[in-house]
Structure 1
C-alpha cells in the first residue's frame, strides 16, 4: 500500500509539471499573438507624437482589436496559472524556508494584475475615432509606462524563480541562471525604457518560459525535494 501511495504521489507531481509546461507555452502564445497583430496597425515608438498616437488608436477602433486585447488579458491569466504551478514545484525543490518561490509567486501576481487591469489602451481603442490627440498621447504613455513598470515585477519573478531552481538543485544550473540573467536585465532596462533595448531581455525571458515548458512536458521527472546535507 505504501508503494502504491508513493507512485500516486509521484504521478501527481509529474502531472503538475505537465500542467506547468502547458500553461507556460499557452500563456506565451496568448500574449504574443494578439500583441503582434495589434502592432501591425502601425504602432509608433515609445516617443510617439500626439498625432501618431491618435492615428494608432483610430486605426485600432475595430472589433478584432478589442478581441485581441481581451485575448492578451487571458494570456496574462494563463501566465498566473503557470507561475502558481511553477512556484508549487519550486517550493518542493527549494525546501524550507520557501521564500524565493514565494517572492516569485507574488511578483507574478503583480505582472498578471497589470495585464488584466490596465485598460488604458483598451479605452483609447474603444473610442479611437473620437479621441483628442492630447488624450491619445496620455493614454499611449500611460500604457507604455505601465508596461515598463511591469518589467520590474517580471524581472523579480525571473530572478526569484531562477534562484529557487539553483538552490534546490533539481535541474541543471543553467535552467536557473537563464531567467536570473533575463530578470536582472529587465530591471536594468527600465531605466532606459524609451529605446528598444528592452526587447532583448524580454524575449530572452519568454524564450526561457517556452523552453522550460517544453522540458517539463517532454520529460516530467517529478522535481525532487531539496537535497539535505548528511
Structure 2
C-alpha cells in the first residue's frame, strides 16, 4: 500500500513536470508568433513620432491584428500555467520556508496579469483609422512603458526562480545562474528602455524558458523529498 502511494505520488510529480514543460513551450510560441506578425506592420521604435505611431495603428486596424492581440493574451495565460507549475516544483525542491518560490510565483502572476489586462494597443488598433497623432502616441507610449515595467516583474521572477534552483540543487548550478543573469539584465535595461539593449536579456530569459521546458519534458527534475 505504501509503495503504491509512493508510486502514485511520483507519477503526479512527473505529470506536473510534463504539464509545466508543455506550458512553457506553448507560452513561448503562442506569445511570440502574433508579436512577430504584428511587427511586420512597420512597428516603429520606442522613440516613434506621433505620426509614425498613428500610421502603425492605422495599418493594424484589421481583423487579423485583433485576433493576434487576443492570441498573445492566451500566450500570457499559458505562461501563467508555466509559472504555477514551475514554482510548485521549486517549492518542493527548496523546502520550507519556500519564500523564493513564493516570490517567483507572485512575480510571474504580475507578468501574466499585465499581458492579459493591458489593452492600450488593442484599443488603438481597433480605432486605428480614427486616431489622431496625439492620441496615437499616448497609446503607443502607454503600451511600451507598461511593457518596460513588466520587465521588472519578469526580472523578479527570474531572480527568485534562479535562486530557488540554486538552493534546491536539483539541477546543475548554471540553470539558476542563467536565469539570474537574464533577470539582472532586465533590471538594468529598464533604465535605458528606449534603446534596443532590452532585447538581449529578454530573449536570454525566453531561451531559458524553452530550455528548461524541454528539460522538464525529457526527464523528471525534482525528486520527491523524504518524509
TM exceeding 0.5? yes
Shift of 1:227: 9.0
The aligned residue for residue 79 of structure 2 is 79
Which secondary structure does the structure 2 equivalent of 1:203 belong to?
helix
Q: 1:158 — aligned with what?
A: 158
Whole-Å separation in 2 of the counterparts to 1:55 and 1:173: 47
Distance 1:171 1:35 in 2: 32
Structure 1 runs (4+) deviating above 4 angstroms are: 225-228
2:209 matches 1:219: no
Distance in 1 (CA, whole Å) between partners of 2:224 and 2:106 is 22
After TM superposition, give the deviation of residue 226 of structure 1 in Å: 6.2
Other structure's SS at 1:97 match: coil
CA distance in 1, matches of 2:226, 2:81: 27
How far apart are 1:220 and its partner, in Å? 2.1
Once residues 225 and 153 of structure 2 are traced to their aligned partners in structure 1, the CA distance between those partners, rounded to angstroms, is: 26
1:169, 1:226 within 8 Å by CA — same for their partners in 2?
no
Shift of 1:225: 4.8
**Residue aligning to 2:202:** 202
How far did residue 162 of structure 1 move? Answer: 0.6
Which residue in 2 is equivalent to 1:29?
Answer: 29
Please give the secondary structure, in 1, of the residue aligned with 2:187: helix
Distance across 2 between alignment mates of 1:72 and 1:58: 20
What's 2:19 paired with? 19
Instruction: Within 5 Å, give how 1:1-230 maps onto structure 2.
Output: 1-221=1-221, 223-225=222-224
Between the aligned partners of 1:173 and 1:226, the Cα distance in structure 2 is 19
Aligned mates of 1:138, 1:197 — CA distance in 2: 23
**Root-mean-square deviation (CA), in Å?**
1.2
Q: Show structure 2 runs of 5+ residues with no match.
A: none
Cα distance in structure 1, aligned partners of 2:137 and 2:6: 59
Normalising by structure 2, what TM-score?
0.98
Q: State whether residues 10 and 224 of structure 2, in contact with CA within 8 Å, keep that contact through their aligned partners in structure 1.
A: no
| Secondary structure of the corresponding residue to residue 198 of structure 1 | helix
Partners of 1:113 and 1:162 lie apart in 2 by 21
Q: How many residues align?
A: 227
